[in-house]
């Protein structure tokens, strides 16, 4: 590295390097004069860097246009590491605008973007895709005509106001959970506008508005008091047909709302135009969308610059930046520093973006141990770089920790309160098919025939149609859906439908209640013994634990994060844990279990994973080994796939304490298996074990932490969880891009 060259210690400092290029300043002068230009050579994530440099020179907002809808998320993360504040994302519908739903998060985000510009609070950078600009938005006049302003102290006719909400597409529900809903509880009206982050609570004193405030939909706690709130309607007045036909929205473009001093940055112009054409071709009926030419004409009405990797003479003035791509790191992880040294040229400095402080410290130690000479030329910072690059003109190599270790970058889940709604238990009823058996709390076993709409209190409400013996039907409104559960039975033969008004169902419930009472008493006695036991409390998370969490190659769902935190909290208490993780196949139960197992091993205790079949034992064994390969953890399996000699050797190592995690079938609970210091028992699919195994588990549970994984917990396990004897965490949100099981 040239000693005269200043050391770059953070990603935002790179912006000055780009702004210092003379030809880049020529482009800036052209844009300020109302002209356009082209910047090429922007390889990898340097496109985000160039965009940030343009924003630093712009007199107003910069609208960054990407070719594809799927490009936006990663680009936004890269930009957020460069800018003082995150960019505003203006999203696109992946369906036609007229096919939107009231609770559509995209609809709300698009409205919020429009409101920000009108309130003069627009951020410096707005990020969008070309298809998003081809989709129309409601004009200012339309939104103004569909907006009602509420003020504390003013009188309001509540009946007229509620009718106004219904007329414009809001749905009345017992308790609001999603945008586009409202509820009424005496003199309290809760409204969740589609463009609001939090819902609104309006309290009335007679006909007068006594108070207005935003509140948290989960905790019901106040977020902010307001004297005045504007509510934008979902749809203007009109019948259902006019809304569905899309005749209500679509007279304006988002580009029409941009201030006159805005600049437009088009990433990969050729791809932008091609993707716009493909987007229209994929739609059967693209009526109501702007054409590619019309959208481009609106873009180029502003001072515009195209940013691309390859040279493309889009406009009369061109700036070529000397930026190169970085080859992919493919070597073994223990040789990554040597591979990095071979990539870095003489006099170059290296800036590595790490995703958290623990990763930065770990990488700092690794570089210091492997190559102290190279360490002098490397700076580690926090941030995101999806694809590394070399700034030739500044002699700087920029890359990320993920690239260095050849890992799949995992996006952080946005802990938005409104987004956690996806994990509502009621969503399980979407899995009901016509003909499925259900259990009604009062009437017994029936058959689900479908959903029907009925008029109720001036608005339509969906009902479940249930058929019982003798063809008698009962209609259950969705507001009482908690009375109905999907039937789950151990017998392969279908049960007989219950008779409405008969006594058999009541007698059966009484017998079951008595049996459950006896069972619960037994379980409570066992739990009381556990409560008296002083268990092992794990210490707080270590650096290894943080690195293990960070190395998860996918995006955790909100439910997963919640289950991980709950189980981790249990392990850090002296009271022995007994938690049920309930979730469908593919919803991430195993990752929750592996996080708990790692924490227990990191604390110096052993972990046993009990599974019902040898096939599942081998599957878990491979999964655990792959997930923990970078850490000094000894994992072994114990099942009939192993010879007797191998089993004896494993048992001896368990007793000696040289095995950290053992995964096996019921062989694990045999009398000859002894652990040196067992701390955690993980039981997968408990309902598939026999009576003898469950009896052995009773005694094993008394002294160790227990984590049970199940997609369909047995009634006893579920009952204990509902009684509070056993804690429960539900995983009901599917991971990103999860494919349904056929």
113-117, 303-307, 599-603: segment of lowest average pLDDT: 113-117
For residue 240, the model assigns a pLDDT of 47
Residue 211 banded pLDDT, cuts 50, 70, 90: very high
- Mean pLDDT of the region 403-415: 60
Asked if the model's pLDDT at residue 304 lies above 90, the reply is: yes
By the 10 Å C-beta count (0-12 exposed, 13-18 middle, 19+ buried), 130 is classed as buried
Q: What's the order of all strands across the beta sheet hosting 437-440?
A: 473-477, 459-467, 444-456, 437-440, 484-486
pLDDT band at residue 460 using 50, 70 and 90 as cut-offs: low
pLDDT of residue 719: 46
Bigger pLDDT: 428 or 601?
Answer: 601
Q: What are phi and psi of 350, to 5 degrees?
A: -120, 135
pLDDT band at 527 (very low <50, low <70, confident <90, very high): low
Residue-wise pLDDT for 85-95, tens only, equals 989 999 987 65
Distance CA 100, CA 89 (A): 19
Torsion angles phi and psi, residue 192, rounded to 5: -115, 90
State residue 298's pLDDT score. Answer: 92
Q: Is the pLDDT of residue 490 over 60?
A: no
More confident: 493 or 665: 665
Would you place residue 239 in the very low, low, confident or very high pLDDT band (cuts 50, 70, 90)? very low
What is residue 740's predicted lDDT score, i.e. its pLDDT?
Answer: 46
pLDDT number for residue 510: 75
Instruction: Report the pLDDT value the prediction gives residue 414, as an integer from 0 to 100.
Output: 40
The answer to whether residue 662 scores a pLDDT higher than 80 is yes
Residue 511 has pLDDT above 80, yes or no: no
pLDDT on residue 458: 60
Average pLDDT of the residues in 202-211: 91
Contacts of 326 by beta carbon, 8 Å cutoff, 6+ apart: 44, 343, 387, 388, 389, 390, 397, 399, 403
Determine the Cα–Cα distance for residues 597 and 599; give it in Å rounded to an integer: 5
In the predicted structure, residue 643 carries a pLDDT above the cut 60: yes
Question: Rounded CA gap, 148 and 666, in Å?
Answer: 65
Give the tens place of pLDDT for each residue, 318-364: 899 999 988 877 766 667 788 888 888 878 899 999 887 877 887 88
Instruction: With a cut of 50, say whether residue 410 has pLDDT above it.
Output: yes
Report the pLDDT averaged over residues 19-31.
Answer: 94
Number of H helices, E strands in the chain: 23, 32
Q: Which helix (H) or strand (E) holds 52?
A: helix 46-57
CA 684 vs. chain centroid, Å, equals: 25
Confidence of residue 730 (pLDDT cuts 50, 70, 90): confident
* Mean pLDDT along residues 186-195: 88
Q: In this model, does residue 72 exceed pLDDT 70? A: yes
- pLDDT, residue 739, reads 47
Q: pLDDT at residue 25 above 60?
A: yes
Of residues 300 and 369, the one with the higher pLDDT is 300
pLDDT at 58 over 70: yes
Residue 249 has pLDDT above 90, yes or no: no
Token pair, residue 296, equals: 């481009």
pLDDT per residue over 663-705, tens digit each?
998 888 888 888 999 999 999 887 676 555 655 665 665 678 8
Measured CA to CA in angstroms, residue 164 lies from 147, 232, 467, 690 at distances of 10, 11, 37, 59
Which is it for strands 323-325 and 473-477: parallel, antiparallel or unpaired? unpaired
Output the pLDDT for position 519. Answer: 59
Q: Is the pLDDT of residue 650 over 80?
A: yes
Give the per-residue pLDDT at 331: 67
Q: Scanning the structure block, which residue is given the tokens 């799927």? A: 70
Answer whether residue 426 shows pLDDT above 70: no
Q: Note the pLDDT tens digit of each residue in 78-133.
A: 999 999 998 999 998 765 555 555 446 788 888 888 888 777 777 889 999 999 99
**Mean pLDDT computed over every residue of the chain:** 81
pTM: 0.63
How high is the pLDDT of residue 98?
A: 52
pLDDT at 265: 94
Q: Is pLDDT at 439 greater than 50 in this prediction?
A: yes
User: Does residue 459 carry a pLDDT above 70?
Assistant: no
* Straight-line distance from the first to the last Cα atom of the chain, in angstroms, rounded to the nearest whole number: 57
Q: Give the strand pairing for 396-400 and 678-684.
A: unpaired
Main-chain dihedrals φ then ψ at residue 567, nearest 5 degrees: -70, -35
In this predicted structure, the answer to whether residue 619 has a pLDDT above a threshold of 80 is yes
- 86 by Cβ neighbours in 10 Å (0-12 / 13-18 / 19+) ranks as middle
CB neighbour burial string for 197-209, b if at least 16 within 10 angstroms, e if fewer: ebbbbbebeeeeb
Task: Report the range of poorest mean pLDDT among 166-180, 372-386, 726-740.
Answer: 726-740
Read off the pLDDT of residues 255-283 as tens digits, 9 standing for 90 and up. 988 888 999 999 999 999 999 998 888 87
Domains along the sequence of the chain with CATH? 22-140+245-320 (3.40.50.11180), 147-234 (3.30.2060.10), 324-404 (3.40.50), 417-502 (2.40.10.170), 516-731 (3.40.50.300)
SS3 61: coil
């Amino acid at each position: 590295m040239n000693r005269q060259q200043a050391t770059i210690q953070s990603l935002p400092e790179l912006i000055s390097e780009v702004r210092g290029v003379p030809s880049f300043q020529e482009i800036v002068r052209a844009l300020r004069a109302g002209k356009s230009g082209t910047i090429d050579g922007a390889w990898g994530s340097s496109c985000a860097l160039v965009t940030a440099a343009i924003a630093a020179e712009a007199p107003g907002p910069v609208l960054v246009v990407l070719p594809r809808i799927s490009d936006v998320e990663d680009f936004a993360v890269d930009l957020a590491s460069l800018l003082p504040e995150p960019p505003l994302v203006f999203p696109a519908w992946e369906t036609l605008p007229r096919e939107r739903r009231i609770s559509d998060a995209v609809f709300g985000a698009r409205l919020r973007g429009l409101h920000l510009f009108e309130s003069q609070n627009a951020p410096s950078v707005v990020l969008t895709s070309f298809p998003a600009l081809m989709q129309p938005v409601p004009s200012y006049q339309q939104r103004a005509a569909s907006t009602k302003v509420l003020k504390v102290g003013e009188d309001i006719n509540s009946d007229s106001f509620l009718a106004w909400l219904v007329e414009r597409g809001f749905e009345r529900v017992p308790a609001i959970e999603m945008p586009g809903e409202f509820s009424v509880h005496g003199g309290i009206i809760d409204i969740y506008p589609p463009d609001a982050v939090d819902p609104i609570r309006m309290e009335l004193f007679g006909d007068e508005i006594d108070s207005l405030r935003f509140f948290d939909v989960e905790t019901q706690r106040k977020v902010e008091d307001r004297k005045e709130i504007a509510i934008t309607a979902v749809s203007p007045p009109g019948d259902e047909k006019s809304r569905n036909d899309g005749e209500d929205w679509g007279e304006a473009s988002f580009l029409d709302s941009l201030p006159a001093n805005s600049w437009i940055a088009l990433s990969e112009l050729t791809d932008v135009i091609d993707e716009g054409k493909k987007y229209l071709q994929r739609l059967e009926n693209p009526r109501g969308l702007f054409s590619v030419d019309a959208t481009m004409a609106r873009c180029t009405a502003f001072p515009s610059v195209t940013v691309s990797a390859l040279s493309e003479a889009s406009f009369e003035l061109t700036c070529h930046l000397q930026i190169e791509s970085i080859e992919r790191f493919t070597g073994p992880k223990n040789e990554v520093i040597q591979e990095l040294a071979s990539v870095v040229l003489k006099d170059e400095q290296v800036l590595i973006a790490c995703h958290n402080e623990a990763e930065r410290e770990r990488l700092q130690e690794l570089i210091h141990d492997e190559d102290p000479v190279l360490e002098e030329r490397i700076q580690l910072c926090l941030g995101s770089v999806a694809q590394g690059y070399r700034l030739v003109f500044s002699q700087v190599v920029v890359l990320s920790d993920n690239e260095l270790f050849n890992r799949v970058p995992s996006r952080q889940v946005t802990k938005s309160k409104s987004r956690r709604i996806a994990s509502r238990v009621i969503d399980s009823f979407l899995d009901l098919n016509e003909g499925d058996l259900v259990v009604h709390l009062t009437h017994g076993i029936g058959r689900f025939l479908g959903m029907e709409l009925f008029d109720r209190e001036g608005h339509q409400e969906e009902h479940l149609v249930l058929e019982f013996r003798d063809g008698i039907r009962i209609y259950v409104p969705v507001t009482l859906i908690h009375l109905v559960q999907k039937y789950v039975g151990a017998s392969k033969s279908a049960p007989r439908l219950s008779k409405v008004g008969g006594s058999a169902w009541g007698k059966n419930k009484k017998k079951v209640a008595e049996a459950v009472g006896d069972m619960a008493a037994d379980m409570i006695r066992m739990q009381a013994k556990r409560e008296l036991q002083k268990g092992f409390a794990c210490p707080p998370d270590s650096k290894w634990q943080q690195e293990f969490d960070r190395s998860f190659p996918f995006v955790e769902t909100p439910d997963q994060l919640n289950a991980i935190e709950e189980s981790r909290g249990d392990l850090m208490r002296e009271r022995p844990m007994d938690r049920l993780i309930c979730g469908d196949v593919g919803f991430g139960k195993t990752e929750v279990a592996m996080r708990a197992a790692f924490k227990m091993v990191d604390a110096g205790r052993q972990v046993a994973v009990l599974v019902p079949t040898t096939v599942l034992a081998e599957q878990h064994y491979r999964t655990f080994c792959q997930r923990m390969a970078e850490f000094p953890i000894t994992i072994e399996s114990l099942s009939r796939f192993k010879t007797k000699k191998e089993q004896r050797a494993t048992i001896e190592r368990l007793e000696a304490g040289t095995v950290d995690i053992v995964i096996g079938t019921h062989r694990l609970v045999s009398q000859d298996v002894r652990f040196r210091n067992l701390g955690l028992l993980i039981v997968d699919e408990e309902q598939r074990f026999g009576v003898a195994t469950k009896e052995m588990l009773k005694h094993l549970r008394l002294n160790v932490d227990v984590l049970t994984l199940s997609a369909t917990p047995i009634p006893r396990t579920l009952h204990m969880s509902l009684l509070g004897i056993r804690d429960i965490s539900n995983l009901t949100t599917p991971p990103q891009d999860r494919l349904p099981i056929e």
